[in-house]
Structure 1
């Protein structure tokens, strides 16, 4: 999706927080293990939950970590099978049964807060300037409005959001290695891109494009539910 010639980059920001988060590492499937900080794909999910139009695309530029990175472990119920669309619509088949349920450990993040900085890219057919989309987003944030409830990696960890304040990022430098940049669910099989994630002064800078590749997957089959990244 190309940026239209009339639209210079217009930055937007939003603050998000919650009691917990799970930004799942896709290469670890036996147990859910969170990245130490929010991933760009999870940030896009939050932004799209607040505001999205077919002619626009969110591009995350940086993520500020506002609270210390703390982990905790919990056991989560997950299902091992998916129902067909016909069964789901008719209600003939339920998956919340003991036969299809497994418990798995998850390494999650406790008491998180982030400030997401992003830009809006518009398609050529967009009929409004990018500032109009930015202003719509800001109004929705100010009023606490969203299309769907945003969440922090998985749906069980709902995200609160609001206008950005002047809180300083944590004072921490760390190299996280390869981190998930984006997921293309429209490809077959699903494709991933990655980037070299480095936290500097509590700020994670995000490149415009990730490096294509597939993660090394654990040999145990994945379960369904909770891997929204």
Structure 2
């Protein structure tokens, strides 16, 4: 179902590693079977991001079958050492994604940047250009690529399947969006319904874990951020 301010695109790569950051203490890393909302928000923010808006993942289709591959990795250890770790990645991940943005009304200091049409036009242009920053799926070593698509026309591998997943990380909830000076981890139980995963919003996640105190970053238009009007002109968006 289409929404206002929505963009549609395919993101794909050779590997993906979607993990719960709270479980990354040890040397082994095991990917989830499907992407977290946080990882996909990271993809969208690499396409286009401004502190006056935040992105919401609406739904995704899994284009390629879920397959995994384990690799022996020697992580960089800043105090020295030669540890061997086992990482399990998703192999050949590809997803069709629908996402839309909302204005961050907790940032009333940025209200003059709340121009819906210009943000949307810039975001669509950035999708066509493959994003403004490097795209990766879960971790930096899993480079990925973005291209525009018509979501409803994409054929997914699980289009005829309904499948329930166990509880997993949904996203990290930052104070800039929540309005609370706490970084929280949110959890949910996703499911595939006729090939589509419909994501719930951060506010709809009932299972939460407070991680740490977290201060909101400060931005000031014209000093450490560019207004959407200036960016609109710079990119020559029509």
> What is the aligned counterpart of 2:58 among 53, 56, 61?
61
Q: Could you tell me how far 1:27 is from its partner in structure 2?
A: 5.4
Q: Residue 155 of structure 2 corresponds to which residue in structure 1? A: 168
Q: Residue 159 of structure 1 corresponds to which residue in structure 2? A: 144
Q: Could you tell me how far 1:185 is from its partner in structure 2?
A: 5.9
CA contact (8 A) 1:25 1:32 kept: no
Distance 1:71 1:12 in 2: 29
Q: Residue 19 of structure 2 corresponds to which residue in structure 1? A: 24
Aligned to 1:42, the other structure's residue is in SS state helix
Aligned to 1:78, the other structure's residue is in SS state coil
> What is the aligned counterpart of 1:14 among 6, 9, 19?
9
Q: Deviations over 1:39-97 (max 9, x none)?
A: 111000001011011100001111211111111101222245xxxxxxxxxxxxxx2x6
Are 1:196 and 2:185 matched, yes or no?
no
CA contact (8 A) 2:61 2:95 kept: yes
After superposition, the Cα gap between the structure-2 partners of 1:53 and 1:202, relative to the gap in structure 1 and judged at 3 Å, is same
Q: Could you tell me how far 1:174 is from its partner in structure 2?
A: 1.8
Aligned to 2:93, the other structure's residue is in SS state strand
CA contact (8 A) 2:188 2:207 kept: no
Distance 1:170 1:34 in 2: 19
> What is the aligned counterpart of 1:183 among 172, 186, 208?
172
Unaligned regions of 5+ residues in structure 2, if any? 106-110, 211-238
The TM-score with structure 2 as length reference comes to 0.72
Q: Could you tell me how far 1:24 is from its partner in structure 2?
A: 1.0
Normalized per residue, which structure has more helix? Answer: 2
Distance 1:201 1:160 in 2: 26
The TM-score with structure 1 as length reference comes to 0.75
CA contact (8 A) 1:25 1:33 kept: no
Q: Could you tell me how far 1:131 is from its partner in structure 2?
A: 2.5
Are 1:132 and 2:118 matched, yes or no?
yes
Aligned to 1:75, the other structure's residue is in SS state strand
Q: Residue 118 of structure 1 corresponds to which residue in structure 2? A: 99
After superposition, the Cα gap between the structure-2 partners of 1:182 and 1:106, relative to the gap in structure 1 and judged at 3 Å, is same
Q: Residue 45 of structure 1 corresponds to which residue in structure 2? A: 42
Q: Could you tell me how far 1:214 is from its partner in structure 2?
A: 3.5
Q: Could you tell me how far 1:176 is from its partner in structure 2?
A: 1.2
Aligned to 2:186, the other structure's residue is in SS state strand
Higher RCO (Cα < 8 Å, 6 or more apart): 1
Q: Name which of structure 1's ranges 36-45 and 176-185 shifts more when overlaid on structure 2.
A: 176-185
CA RMSD of aligned residues (A): 2.4
Distance 2:174 2:30 in 1: 21
